[in-house]
Chains A and B, each alone.
Chain A
Amino acid sequence: MLEIIENAFQIIVLIIFVILSFVFGSREKERKWTLLFFYYSCFLLGNAYWQMCLFYYGKAPQIALVSDISWYAGLIFLTLLIYTEEIQKDWKSRLKNSSLRFLPYLSPVFTVAMAIYFMQYGKYVSNIIYAIIMGILMFFAIVGIIIPYKNEASFLCVAALCFCLFDYGTWIFSCFYENTTIYMGYYIFDILMSLVLPFFLIFIKRRDAYDIR
């Protein structure tokens, strides 16, 4: 029951921001709004499918292929958004000259380590795919933070990194489903993910307003 309520909250947040990104996208007709719209939509559809399964069948799907594919797509769109909006074309040379150039390379190490940890519970293919996608997303998020575009702090990359870390938080706590106290951490991190979602739109709008000035 708590999972249904908490998923419903995330779905409501996603619906609002799907509509908002669609409205802004149809007004301004820029790629970033399309990417943002697809990101929100893919996550919404994945969550809606999960919620449907909980509502109709009272349990999560045995094979979560459909929702996993939607979430992969959402993460890919978020990666594309970060890459097109926050990463400069000469990022490789700028990263080499940065004192924190080793930091982005920690992200694939982290995601691979987490994938190996989660594989003890099965779902080998899914964990490998998540490790690759999250590794790339977190890599570019950290690059965007270290080498900010136009020397302005990349709040979009910070939001993306927080989203990834909260997502990993939910996955870690979901492993302790037998202990109801520890499992509460899953709901906390999922709510935190829901609270980070609006910031992608807010930071893009803020960047637009900054560029106009």
Chain B
Amino acid sequence: MIFVENIYICLAAPLLLAIFLTSKEWQGTLIALFSGMTSCLLSGYINAFCMAVLDLDEDSAIYQINPAIEEIMKFLPVVFYLVIFEPKVKDIVNKILIISIGFATFENVCYLTGNGTDDLVKLIIRGLGTGAMHVVCGMMLAVGISLIWEQEWLRAIGILAVLCPAITFHAIFNIMVSHQGVSLFCGSAIPLIMIDIYLFFFKKE
């Protein structure tokens, strides 16, 4: 049995120290990373609760409810940041990506602890694929928010509408990678390809 709380404490403790010791310009990034990891931990609890309430097994929950819960939990620190600090669009994009990376990192560490470190190829596919997927979902949120946030009347409705592509993309990814063979390979490759397209065509903008 993995004690995720212990893993969380081991990863979060140095981050917390760094938040207090670094300069102001770094604190925001570290807090975002910390928030991502915290969201991942809390998502685990909520996933387990929903599985029990809805009477779903783990294989079904992975593609039916986990994506929605994880994306919403990832998005909560973003909403807090947007509403309280009212940052510039560029800051929103960076913070969302860091939160997504924090989430993906913690998830991968828990996976590593639970499944061992023997199969390097599988870990590379898992690490890159899942990490890229969370980053792509974060990018979707970032792009969507940057489009809607300037119009106040759009904000409330737009948040829901922006969250949805991220949830669905995450769910489709989970379906593909939960099956071995070509499906796992393609599922892991799609987010990486999307990031490459973004870097090549849209990064400058």
User: CB within 8 Å of B: which residues of A?
Assistant: 34, 38, 41-42, 45-46, 48-49, 52-53, 56, 61-67, 69-70, 72-74, 76-77, 80
Contact = CB atoms under 8 A, between A and B. Distances in A.
B54 A48 contact: no
Interface stretch (B15-23, B82-90, B154-162, B191-199): B154-162
Most buried by B among A46, A52, A76: A52
Most buried by A among B147, B163, B164, B169: B164
Interface in B115-173: 144, 147, 154, 157, 160-161, 163-165, 167-169, 171-172
B161 A73 contact: yes
Contact of B164 (A48, A62, A73): A73
Most buried by B among A41, A45, A72: A45
Interface of B: 54, 56, 60, 63-65, 67-68, 144, 147, 154, 157, 160-161, 163-165, 167-169, 171-172, 175-176, 179, 183
Which 5 pairs between the two chains have the least Cβ-Cβ distance?
A73-B164, A45-B168, A73-B161, A66-B171, A63-B64
A105 to B, nearest CB: 22
Contacts of A34: 147
Given A56-B179, A66-B67, A46 B157 contact: no
Contacts of B168: 42, 45-46, 48-49, 66-67, 69-70
Contacts of B175: 49, 52-53, 56
A62 B160 contact: no
B65 A38 contact: no
A197 B150 CA distance: 29
Nearest to A48: B172
A13 B167 CA distance: 22
B64 A66 contact: yes
Most buried by B among A63, A76, A77: A63
Contact of A53 (B63, B147, B157, B183): B63
Contacts of A67: 168
B167 A80 contact: no
Contacts of A70: 164-165, 167-168
Given A49-B172, A80-B154, 7 more contacts: A45-B169, A52-B176, A66-B168, A70-B164, A70-B165, A73-B161, A76-B157
Nearest to B183: A56
Nearest to B170: A66
24 contacts: A38-B161, A42-B165, A46-B168, A48-B168, A52-B176, A56-B175, A61-B60, A61-B63, A63-B64, A65-B65, A66-B64, A66-B167, A66-B168, A66-B171, A67-B168, A69-B68, A69-B164, A70-B164, A73-B160, A73-B161, A73-B163, A74-B164, A76-B157, A80-B157
Contacts of B172: 45, 48-49, 52
Contacts of A80: 154, 157
Contacts of A41: 165
Nearest to A69: B164
B45 to A, nearest CB: 18
Given A34-B147, A56-B175, A80-B154, A65 B164 contact: no
Nearest to B144: A38
Contacts of B161: 38, 42, 73, 76-77
A80 B144 CA distance: 15
Contacts of A46: 168
Most buried by B among A41, A42, A52, A69: A69
A36 B20 CA distance: 45
A48 B176 CA distance: 12
A103 to B, nearest CB: 24
